[in-house]
Structure 1
Amino acid sequence: MLPYTYLLIDFFTIIICFIFSFHHKIKFNRHFGAFIGASFIVAVFFIAWDIWFTKTGVWWFNDKYLLGIRIFNLPVEEILFFFCIPFACIFTYFCLDKFFKLDWKPLPEKIFVIISIISSLVIGLYFHEKIYPFVTFLSTAITLFILYFILKSRWIGKASFVYLLLMPGFLMVNGVLTGTGLESPIVNYNPDHIIGFRIFTIPIEDTVYGYELILWNIYLFQRLKKTEPGL
């Protein structure tokens, strides 16, 4: 069973959401095309990022928990990660947005975005000698600026709240990947390239990395969903 560990994590991350996608009150399955398009575009950039960090030794993978199939030196399970995690997150965002009014008022949202941008810039620049926090916090600041001030996205507050609600699931999944409950981590991190502060076994940078991943998936999903026939 050990070689299937990472694959099982991907599977259990997505299976419940996938089943409920066909529920008559949700009908998320009608938007599978928009999700696939959005997740593929975002995955291209994040997989390239992943390849770069793996090649430079920022992180690496424990073969004991993998099938052994690699694409561009990345485990196939890691590539699936960039589709399974966004699916669960986008599905949750879609459902909560459908059944609850989670929109923020303009001023609190603007303040939140500005504070988040400044905080990300400060942290990224402060840890400029450590590549993971530098790249992650800096790119997140750029992402927030582009989405809010250039692309005029007015759902950042709502998306951030949903991401917070998803945090227990994130901690569970990423916790196992980083070693919680296992003899050794599936994903290992070079201590020279991370801040060193962890939530249980999870580097703090992972929470910001996931946040940026989900923001771009939401943006592209909503754009592509508008182009779907009959919607």
Structure 2
Amino acid sequence: MMQYTYILINFFTVIICFLASFDRRIQFNKLFLKFFLSSTIVAVPFILWDIWFTTKGVWWFDYRYTLGFKMAGLPLEEWLFFYCIPFACVFTYYCLEKFFTFNRADLFNNLIVFTSVIVLSVVGLLYYDRIYTLLTVIVTVLTLSYLHFIAKKEWIGKASFVYLVLLPGFFAVNGILTGSFIPSPVVNYNPGDFLGVRMGTIPVEDAVYGYSQFLLNIYFFKKITKNEK
């Protein structure tokens, strides 16, 4: 059973959202192709980042927890991760936006963006020698700056709230991948390449990395479905 660990993580992450997509009140199944296109746009740079970090030894995988199939140095399950996790995230955002209003959340756009950019910039300057920390800071600062100052999106506060809603799932998935509840981690990190601050077994960078990936998935999904404000 050990070799099915990562594939089962992907499966259980996506299965409930996938089945619920066919509900006549939601009909997210009609947007599958558009989701695939938007998530691929985001997945490409993040997969390249993943391949580069794996090659450099910033992180590596314990193949005992995978089916053993590799593509460009990454396990097949890692490729699927960049579609399964965004699917669950985008589906959740889509449903919450469809059935609830979070207009008050958008009042916090400026606070979220300015606070995040300042804090992340300080961390990046202080720990510029930690490649995972630095690149995560750069990508997240650029993402927030583009969405707020250039694209002028009004839903950053709403998306940030949804990301908080998704955090229990994030802790469950990333917790297992980083060694919670199992004998050893599926994904291992070089101590010299990140801050070393962990939430349980999860590097704090993972949460920031996930946030930027989430925002970009929402942005391109909205853009492709023409559901923009």
TM surpasses 0.5: yes
Q: 1:176 to 1:165 in 2, by over 3 A?
A: same
**SS of equivalent residue, structure 2 residue 188:** strand
**SS of equivalent residue, structure 2 residue 60:** strand
In structure 2, the partner of 1:47 is 47
- Partners of 1:106 and 1:176 in 2: CA distance: 33
- Partners of 1:131 and 1:190 in 2: CA distance: 10
**SS of equivalent residue, structure 2 residue 26:** coil
In structure 2, the partner of 1:35 is 35
Long gaps (5+) in structure 1: none
- Partners of 1:13 and 1:108 in 2: CA distance: 29
In structure 2, the partner of 1:75 is 75
In structure 1, the partner of 2:18 is 18
- Partners of 2:105 and 2:49 in 1: CA distance: 34
Question: 1:103 Cα deviation (Å)?
Answer: 2.5
In structure 2, the partner of 1:223 is 223
Q: TM-score, normalised by structure 1?
A: 0.96
The Cα RMSD (Å) is 1.2
Question: 1:105 Cα deviation (Å)?
Answer: 6.3
Per-residue Cα deviation, 1:151-176 (whole angstroms, up to 9, x for no partner) = 11111110000001110110001000
Question: 1:117 Cα deviation (Å)?
Answer: 1.1
- Partners of 2:89 and 2:81 in 1: CA distance: 12
Question: 1:226 Cα deviation (Å)?
Answer: 1.7
Aligned residue type for 2:101 = K
Q: 1:201 to 1:172 in 2, by over 3 A?
A: same
In structure 1, the partner of 2:210 is 210
Question: 1:97 Cα deviation (Å)?
Answer: 0.5
Percentage of identical aligned residues: 54
Aligned residue type for 1:144 = L
Aligned residue type for 2:222 = Q
Q: TM-score, normalised by structure 2?
A: 0.96
CA contact (8 A) 2:68 2:75 kept: yes
In structure 1, the partner of 2:64 is 64
**SS of equivalent residue, structure 1 residue 32:** helix
- Partners of 2:222 and 2:76 in 1: CA distance: 27
Segments of 4+ moved more than 6 angstroms? none
